[in-house]
Chain A
Amino acid sequence: MSTIAQKKGFGATVWDFLTTVDHKKIAILYLIAGGFFFLVGGLEAVFIRIQLAVPNNDFVSAGAFNEIITMHGTTMIFLAAMPLIFAFMNAVMPLQIGARDVAFPFVNALGFWLFFFGGIFLNLSWFLGGAPDAGWTSYASLALHSKGHGIDFYVLGLQISGIGTLIGGINFLVTIINMRAPGMTYMRMPLFTWTTFVASALILFAFPPLTVGLTLMMFDRLFGANFFDVTMGGNTVIWEHLFWIFGHPEVYILILPAFGIFSEIFSIFSRKRLFGYSSMVFATVLIGFLGFMVWAHHMFTTGLGPVANAIFAVATMAIGVPTGIKIFNWLFTMWGGSVKFTVPMYYAFGFIPSFVMGGVTGVMVATAAADYQYHDTYFVVAHFHYVIVGGVVLGILAGVHLWWPKMFGTMLSETLGKVTFWFFFIGFHLTFFIQHFLGLWGMPRRVFTYLPGQGFDTANMVSSIGAAFMSIGVLVMLYNIIMTSVKNVKVGNDPWEDGRTLEWSIPSPPPFYNFKQLPLVRGLDAYWIEKMDGKKGMTPAEPLGDIHMPNGSFIPFMIALGLFIAAFGAMYHVDKEAWALPVLIIGLLVTFGSMFVRSIKDDHGFHIHKEELQDEKGAKA
């Protein structure tokens, strides 16, 4: 397909991506957009570290610092980590289960455009009077009194992108339940598919509370409601609950797919079946389940009382058990394996000690009584960066290297990849390890500066130097991506030579219908089994026949665009701007009009005929 795309003009390619419903192209869109926001969030992190490098610094003002930390957290979680994970879910999961697309290709595209417009809307706040400044948690008592429209950008932007995530989650669930290839039972699904499945279930149940929380905040700020206004009978703790009922499962929504990526990597590059596959599945499901029972450990100092704190503390520590099961399973997968040190394996190796350290401090902060000491200090900052960077980001970087050839048909440079790894890995520990001690020495988080002579000076400088290392690592990776794309050396089906799952049995990148004939799955690591039996590819499960494919559509873009426009109207309506109400109405008309068009216009898709498939060469299923 890529050769066809090159022959088309630039405009045609853009139009192709604007209207695509192909999960592989949507994955590329998620990767580009998520990568862009990752750079934006990274830039904000660099600003934070420059400001804090020396005491009494005035690189940014206190107000700007609040905006930067808020946007750093919000961007990294919602606009970088989530979409990058979604990129892999889209690119890989349908291939791993032997499906030709996701269950709802149209909804898939809609999910991307909602996320994209939500993210753009949120970031436009920088240019339209100031970004949100109440922290990424946006606690109501701060948020209600924030001047300007920063918080409104946060509320509306996250609402739009959150809807996109929710429908994406439903889509993945249905895809996995209904569209597995013949023989692909649940207990034969690759671990990345399993973690996608559980993470999607978490999305389904965790995002509605966020939706409600954001709606209530919107009502309070824009329409005069009083949910969080204590003087009118409101209760500001409700926001804390709603935010964390969403916010804690969100952590697992991010880390479980990263676990999935690492499970694939350990297995592929140890050239061994994943140790304890069933217990891995069990641990994944258990983590997902327990993830909903621990949200109040973010609120130990809110004053819920000793009974509530004790229950949530115990539940939190319980999560250490299934996570420990996973760690040992990964170690035992390597044990006795024939380990190959590729770039993805570097990341997997780096991940284990880094993430375990985050887990250990996690048990420390889960101890409710001790948490009063850690709360709101740099110790907490160090802890969650160890799990998010040491877990999720390393997982994403590993996934980029692992699946780049499958997504783009060409391999990233291993040498440059290793350079990136060492800069990033050393920089990461340099930045965050010392922050544990900064926290224990008493440095509070979210302060824009500190006085000299309190013992914070050297440690903060060390931390900032670490951030520079990480930045160099990311720049090397960008260089790697550009050089690889320019050279564009094509690779075959199985570029790592040890691929185990179905995605490695088809060309890189796969044809737009993925599988010419659906494959017959005979066990866990389906492709590996066939290779061990001396076969070149999968045995087809069906005769060659017509393939039904969905049509592309511009409507998803329009639905999302309408909400984007409407959000401006809703926001400036408060300022009594004359144009605001018409803009709100026009935006909603665009959205609902597009939905209406979608619902009355029949879209049966099209068929690729058997004869065309027979003519095509090289696309062996």
Chain B
Amino acid sequence: MHAEEKMTYETWPAEPEKSTLEAKNKFLGFWLFLGGETVLFATLFATYLALKDKVPNTSQPLAKDLFELPLTFVATMLLLTSSITSVYAMYHMKNFAFKKMMLWLGLTVLLGLGFLGLEVYEFSHYVHEGHKFTSSAFGSAFYSLVGFHGGHVAFGLCWILTLMIRNSKRGLSLYNAPKFYVASLYWHFIDVVWVFIFTVVYLMGMVG
């Protein structure tokens, strides 16, 4: 099968994300890249755990003084839901339903934007309480870990939006199907990382 071929619902393969050599390479290469990203975040988690609550003086807030579960719970729900919507988008991609895929991707982007908005609000709230990037090792580690994740979310949003705009007029092909698929993989990965951040940073921050 060639990437440039004009496809129809009937000729659309079962696994369009792996139907050409280029697509197979992209699929595998991206999984490997996510392996590297996992190590990257593991390193940031380790750094955070080593520096958690390490502040120069007692006037500075610690994890248990800062975090509030309702806010992060809403943020978590937004991001988890966006993962489901991207699954629906890929379901429609596999069924050659371009418009439905775009609709679900659009929902994904909106939910992601909502999450980012909450994160910005959260960060500014902490800064007002004296928890800054430069105020302590704890602050540096917190904003690096959560900020790296936020940066990934922002990059993912730009990526998905670029793909949507670029392909809005021409529909699905074996050339762009792997691109959509890989972007959705990235989105799931970001979501998984957030589950760990929610557990390690927020839940464990609240109890101890």
Please list the residues of chain A having a beta carbon within 8 angstroms of any beta carbon in chain B: 103-104, 166, 170-171, 173-174, 177-179, 204-205, 207-209, 211-213, 215-216, 219-220, 223-227, 229, 231-235, 238, 242, 245, 596, 599-600, 602, 604
A208 with B40: in contact, given A178-B25, A224-B134, A227-B141 (CB under 8 Å)?
yes
Give CA–CA (A212, B38) in the complex, Å. Answer: 12
Q: Are A178 and B141 in contact (CB under 8 A)?
A: no
Which of A209, A211, A604 meets B175, CB within 8 Å?
A: A604
Q: Are A225 and B134 in contact (CB under 8 A)?
A: yes
B76 within 8 A of A: no
Q: Are A170 and B36 in contact (CB under 8 A)?
A: yes
Give CA–CA (A204, B38) in the complex, Å. Answer: 10
> Nearest B residue to A231 by beta-carbon distance?
B56
- List, in ascending order, chain A residues with CB within 8 A of B141's CB: 227
Q: What is the total of A-B residue contacts with beta carbons within 8 Å?
A: 112
Interface SS of chain B: helix, strand, loop or mixed?
A: helix
B21 within 8 A of A: yes
Q: Are B56 and A233 in contact (CB under 8 A)?
A: yes
Q: Are B47 and A216 in contact (CB under 8 A)?
A: yes
Which of B33, B50, B136 meets A226, CB within 8 Å?
A: B136
Query: What's the least CB distance linking B147 to chain A, in Å?
Result: 10
- List, in ascending order, chain B residues with CB within 8 A of A602's CB: 175
Q: Are A227 and B137 in contact (CB under 8 A)?
A: yes
Q: Are B51 and A205 in contact (CB under 8 A)?
A: no
Q: Are B166 and A227 in contact (CB under 8 A)?
A: no
Query: What's the least CB distance linking B172 to chain A, in Å?
Result: 14
Give CA–CA (A224, B136) in the complex, Å. Answer: 10
Please list the residues of chain B having a beta carbon within 8 angstroms of any beta carbon in chain A: 3-4, 21, 24-25, 28-29, 32-33, 35-37, 39-40, 43-44, 47, 50-51, 54-56, 133-141, 144, 162-163, 166, 175
Q: Are B25 and A103 in contact (CB under 8 A)?
A: yes
Give CA–CA (A204, B30) in the complex, Å. Answer: 12
Give CA–CA (A596, B144) in the complex, Å. Answer: 26
Interface SS of chain A: helix, strand, loop or mixed?
A: helix
> Nearest B residue to A173 by beta-carbon distance?
B32
Q: Are A104 and B29 in contact (CB under 8 A)?
A: yes
Q: Are B137 and A229 in contact (CB under 8 A)?
A: yes
- List, in ascending order, chain A residues with CB within 8 A of B175's CB: 602, 604
Query: What's the least CB distance linking B183 to chain A, in Å?
Result: 10
Query: What's the least CB distance linking B114 to chain A, in Å?
Result: 24
Give CA–CA (A213, B137) in the complex, Å. Answer: 14
Q: What are 24 residue pairs bridging A and B, where the CB atoms are less than 8 Å apart in the complex?
A: A173-B28, A173-B29, A177-B28, A179-B21, A204-B39, A209-B43, A212-B47, A219-B140, A224-B133, A225-B140, A227-B140, A231-B56, A232-B55, A232-B136, A233-B51, A233-B54, A233-B56, A233-B136, A234-B54, A238-B47, A245-B43, A599-B166, A602-B175, A604-B4
Give CA–CA (A600, B21) in the complex, Å. Answer: 21
Q: Are A216 and B144 in contact (CB under 8 A)?
A: yes
- List, in ascending order, chain B residues with CB within 8 A of A220's CB: 140
Query: What's the least CB distance linking A501 to chain B, in Å?
Result: 23
Give CA–CA (A220, B137) in the complex, Å. Answer: 10
- List, in ascending order, chain A residues with CB within 8 A of B136's CB: 226, 232-233
Query: What's the least CB distance linking B68 to chain A, in Å?
Result: 23
- List, in ascending order, chain A residues with CB within 8 A of B29's CB: 103-104, 170-171, 173-174
Q: Are B51 and A227 in contact (CB under 8 A)?
A: yes
- List, in ascending order, chain B residues with CB within 8 A of A226's CB: 134, 136-137, 139-140
Give CA–CA (A104, B40) in the complex, Å. Answer: 22
Query: What's the least CB distance linking B170 to chain A, in Å?
Result: 10
Give CA–CA (A588, B55) in the complex, Å. Answer: 33
- List, in ascending order, chain A residues with CB within 8 A of B135's CB: 232
A596 with B133: in contact, given A205-B36, A212-B47, A227-B47 (CB under 8 Å)?
no
Which of B28, B56, B144 meets A225, CB within 8 Å?
A: B144
Q: Are B21 and A178 in contact (CB under 8 A)?
A: yes
Query: What's the least CB distance linking A595 to chain B, in Å?
Result: 10
Give CA–CA (A215, B138) in the complex, Å. Answer: 16
Q: Are B37 and A208 in contact (CB under 8 A)?
A: yes
> Nearest B residue to A242 by beta-carbon distance?
B43
- List, in ascending order, chain B residues with CB within 8 A of A205's CB: 35-36, 39
Query: What's the least CB distance linking A233 to chain B, in Å?
Result: 3
Q: Are A104 and B47 in contact (CB under 8 A)?
A: no
A174 with B162: in contact, given A211-B40, A227-B47, A235-B137 (CB under 8 Å)?
no
Give CA–CA (A220, B36) in the complex, Å. Answer: 24
> Nearest A residue to B25 by beta-carbon distance?
A103
> Nearest A residue to B143 by beta-carbon distance?
A225
Question: Given A103-B25, A212-B44, list of 20 further CB < 8 A pairs?
Answer: A170-B32, A173-B32, A178-B25, A179-B25, A211-B40, A212-B40, A212-B43, A213-B43, A225-B140, A226-B134, A226-B137, A227-B51, A231-B56, A233-B51, A233-B54, A234-B137, A235-B51, A238-B47, A238-B50, A599-B163
- List, in ascending order, chain A residues with CB within 8 A of B40's CB: 208-209, 211-212
Max count, chain A CB within 10 A of own CB: residue among B29, B50, B135 = B29
Q: Are A104 and B25 in contact (CB under 8 A)?
A: yes
Q: Are B133 and A223 in contact (CB under 8 A)?
A: yes
- List, in ascending order, chain A residues with CB within 8 A of B3's CB: 604
Max count, chain A CB within 10 A of own CB: residue among B36, B51, B54 = B36
- List, in ascending order, chain B residues with CB within 8 A of A174's CB: 25, 28-29, 32
Query: What's the least CB distance linking B202 to chain A, in Å?
Result: 20
Q: Are A225 and B133 in contact (CB under 8 A)?
A: yes
Q: Are B144 and A219 in contact (CB under 8 A)?
A: yes
- List, in ascending order, chain B residues with CB within 8 A of A232's CB: 55-56, 135-137
> Nearest B residue to A232 by beta-carbon distance?
B56
- List, in ascending order, chain B residues with CB within 8 A of A599's CB: 162-163, 166
- List, in ascending order, chain A residues with CB within 8 A of B139's CB: 226
Give CA–CA (A242, B42) in the complex, Å. Answer: 11
- List, in ascending order, chain A residues with CB within 8 A of B54's CB: 233-235
Query: What's the least CB distance linking B2 to chain A, in Å?
Result: 9
Query: What's the least CB distance linking A337 to chain B, in Å?
Result: 38
> Nearest B residue to A602 by beta-carbon distance?
B175
- List, in ascending order, chain A residues with CB within 8 A of B56's CB: 231-233
Which of B39, B50, B140 meets A208, CB within 8 Å?
A: B39
> Nearest B residue to A200 by beta-carbon distance?
B32
Give CA–CA (A226, B50) in the complex, Å. Answer: 13
- List, in ascending order, chain B residues with CB within 8 A of A596's CB: 162
